[in-house]
Every structure is written in C-alpha cells, then in structure tokens.
Amino acid sequence: MRTDDSEVAKTVWWKSAGSRPQTASIEAGRRYDVAIVGGGIAGLTAARHLARLGMQVGLFEADTLGSGASGVNGGYVVPNFAKADPDAVVARLGEDRGRRLLALVGAGADRVFATIRDNAIECDAEQVGWMHVAHDARSLDMLRVRATAWQKLGRPVRIFDEGEARARTTMRYCAGAYFDPAGGMLNPLAYTLGLARLAGEAGVHLHERARVATVVRTGPRWRLGFGDGHVEADRVVLATNASSIGAARRLFRTVVPLRVYQMATRPLAPAEAARIAPGRNPIADTRATFFTYRLDRDNRLISGGMPILPFRAHARMGHAIARRLASELGLADVPEVEHVWFGTAAMTTDFLPHVYELGPGFVGGIGCNGRGIALTTMLGEVLAQAASGTALADLPIPTAPARAIPFHLLARAAPSLAIMHAKWTDRHL
C-alpha cells in the first residue's frame, strides 16, 4: 500500500515512478535461507542476486519499497567517491583491496545503466555523462590529478578546459571541469521499483510495512522480530542505511546522518533548458558549499541543499535553492518551485563504504556517501557475495566489526558545523 503523506510522495519522482511490484503479508514463523532488512537499492540488489543463486529470500521493508534514500535522492549517477581520490583509497586500504574497491566503484554507473537496459526498467535513464565543474584554477588542478589517477585505472574520464566546460553550462564560476562519460541521471524511485520487480521475478518474497525490531541469535539461526511475530533465517543482511528504526540502529551508530533537501522547479521552456544544459548532463561543482543541478525528463530543474538548522527548513529550503539556481545559472527569473522534499544520507567518517560483520552469517553494508545509486548497486552485489559464503576478507569493500562512532549524539551535530564552515570558506565567492 502507498501512503501519500510520506516524504517519498512529495518527490518529483513519485507520479512518474510507474507500477509497483507485488508484495505479500509476512508468514509468521517462516524460515528463509537469507532475510534482507531494507527495501532500497542495496537490499533489493542483494536479494535479487541471492535468489538467482537458488536461495529462499525474504525482504522486509519498514515502510514502502524505495521510501528511503533510494527513492528520494537526486538521481545523479556518479561512478566515483564523493571525497576520496584513488591514490588515497590505495594508501588507506593497501594495494590489493584498494584496487579492487576502485574497480568496483568505477564500474558502478555502467552496471546501473546496463541493468536498466537489459531488464527494460523504465526510469528515464540518460547516460549522458557527469560533469564536475572546477570553480577556480586550484580546484581544476585537483581535478586533473583525480582524472589522471582514474585514467591510469582505465576509466575514460577527461578534463575539459574552461571553453569546453562553458559550452556545457552557464555556471557563474567555471574554470574547467572533470567529465565522466559513464555517469548520467535517472528517476531514482522508478529505478528502485524496477529493482524490486526484478527481485520479485527472481523469487524474492517482498514485504512492506514490515519493520524489523530485533535480530537475535536462536540456536543455529537468526530470529527477526516484528513486535507481533517473527521469521527465521540462516543468514541476515542489514541494508538499512541511515535509518535508526529497530534493528537498523546497529548500522546507524556507525555513520553521521545528513539531512539533504531536494527541490524541483516547474518545467523550463525548451530553449532555456538547452541554454543552461546543452548536453543534458548532470553537474556538481567543487566549492565547499557545492552546487548541483540537473534536468528531469520534462526539463524541470532539480537541485539540492542542506540547512544549518532543521527547524522550519521545509518552508525555507525550496525557495533558497531556487534563488541560488537563478543566480548561479543566470536565469532571468527565480524559477517557480513545484516540489520540495528531503532524505537522510549516511556519511562514514572515512567517506568509504563498509561491510560490517554483525554476527555469524549476519552482515550489514553502508556508506555510499552521496554516491549511492552507482555504489549502492555494487554494494548490494557485495552483500550478496557475503551472504552466500564468500569470506569477508575476500570482498572488495572494507570489512570490520561494527563500531559505533564515539559520542554519536554529538557527531550528529557535525553536518551543521560543516555547513557553517563551508559557508565561511566560500565567503568571498
């Protein structure tokens, strides 16, 4: 069942997300080979891969499929890290694991678009490339280093000089850009529901409104408690991202949750859309107060932002983002706001994804740090490997016991401080 008062129903994606897959009621006491907790990109991908290996898989989603970050995000498909450069990843994880993680991350966007093509997922996907604009010469040097590192790994990325970059954007601050042709954009809710359809077709039992309160070891198996009943599973995958509901707290304590607002304008006139994004590729920039924009299929402008304080942010953020769009892109008027919504992203302290061992046969995965469409698709595959018996040490994503961030309650204030710091850093721009 869908509720129209949830955050996902406020998104621009909601009306064009297409049909929903069949879900079923929980069969109390049922036993599965693997139980998946969380119905976003990570959980659905893991579930589908496990079912295709012949396992009995049950997926349990607290709200509706795609109602978490997977269905409310901006839809930018970006095959790299938000903060980490390839050399830093290898320095941190060592040559072997570092390189395997880089290969996984670099392949993410192509995997997303191939999955969409091969399975006829209707989600307005456009693999038109992703552009990271340098706001000054120093940032362009930093992007050059990044591009060289990815090129050495065989990725087809390139640097645009100022003229080439300005031919693709009307952004005020533009000294050049990093361009990754594998990136692009899509309707993230439609993509997630498409993954749910594929999981269902593979034989996964999909359950909505199934909030897993507890996961406890009982003899050789795990028991998932729902408050008024339970199911059992030999193995469990926790794919609950930044949620703090029930069993999700095990992962929640390992990340800093970040509230991110998104906004969609009314459709722009075709000529105006072609002027500000002639290649239609989604764009971000390098400023501390980074700026992003893309078009949707109807030429609505979509952009995001983070409030310093959450109070009354809903009322403020849409117009604040629209004003910024007008000034950054040189629009004649501030565009009219049609949709405003928010979601919670999960940031890890090292900005890398992690797989956590939560018990024998019980794993969790998290930490796509705002690059979640491509990276979470890959994380789902890795979680499936972990749940089907691959030794955790052999996975391409770093594994460790799940440790809570010290003083987690205080750490949750870090984003507000980071936004203030970013505004201070960019104060002269």
Ligand X SMILES: Cc1cc2nc3c(=O)[nH]c(=O)nc-3n(C[C@H](O)[C@H](O)[C@H](O)COP(=O)(O)OP(=O)(O)OC[C@H]3O[C@@H](n4cnc5c(N)ncnc54)[C@H](O)[C@@H]3O)c2cc1C
List of residues contacting ligand X (CB under 6 A) = 37-43, 60-63, 67-70, 72-76, 78, 211-212, 239-241, 243, 245-248, 260, 262, 343-345, 368, 370-374, 376
Query: Which two tokens mark 319?
Result: 């117009």
% helix, strand, coil for the chain, step of 5 = 35, 25, 40
Residue 87 CA, distance from chain mean position: 23
* Residue among 85 and 162 whose Cβ is closer to ligand X: 85
Kindly tell me which of 78 and 199 has the beta carbon lying closer to ligand X.
Answer: 78
Q: What are phi and psi of 206, to 5 degrees?
A: -95, 130
User: Using an 8 Å Cβ cutoff, are 355 and 363 in contact?
Assistant: yes
* Min separation Cβ 259 and ligand X, Å: 8
| Minimum CB distance to ligand X smaller for 254 or for 262 | 262
The least CB distance from residue 295 to ligand X, in Å, is 13
Least distance in angstroms from the C-beta of 306 to ligand X: 9
The count of residues in the chain is: 429
- Among residues 176 and 370, whose Cβ is nearest to ligand X? 370
**Longest CA span, the chain:** 67
For the bound state, the minimum distance from the C-beta of residue 49 to ligand X, rounded and expressed in Å, comes to 14
Considering the complex, state which of residue 175 and residue 230 has its C-beta at the smaller distance from ligand X.
Answer: 230
Q: Which is nearer to ligand X, 175 or 340 (CB)?
A: 340
From 84, 76, 55, 8, select the one nearest 284 (Cα to Cα).
Answer: 76
In the bound complex, what is the minimum distance in angstroms from residue 104's beta carbon to ligand X?
14
Provide the 10 A C-beta neighbour count for residue 424: 10
Using CB positions, name the residue nearest to ligand X. 372
What distances in angstroms separate CA 228 from CA 27, 29, 60, 214, one per listed residue?
12, 11, 14, 12
Of 63 and 328, the one with the shorter C-beta distance to ligand X is 63
b/e 39-49 (16+ beta carbons within 10 angstroms → b): bbbbbbbbbbb
Give me the half-sphere count of Cα atoms (radius 13 Å) on the Cβ side of residue 342.
18
CB of 353 to ligand X, least distance (A): 9
> Which of these, 340, 338, 186, lies nearest to 265 by C-alpha position?
338
Give min distance, CB of 345 to ligand X, in A.
4
Question: What span, in angstroms and rounded, lies between the C-alpha atoms of 307 and 311?
Answer: 9
DSSP bridge partners of 171:
none
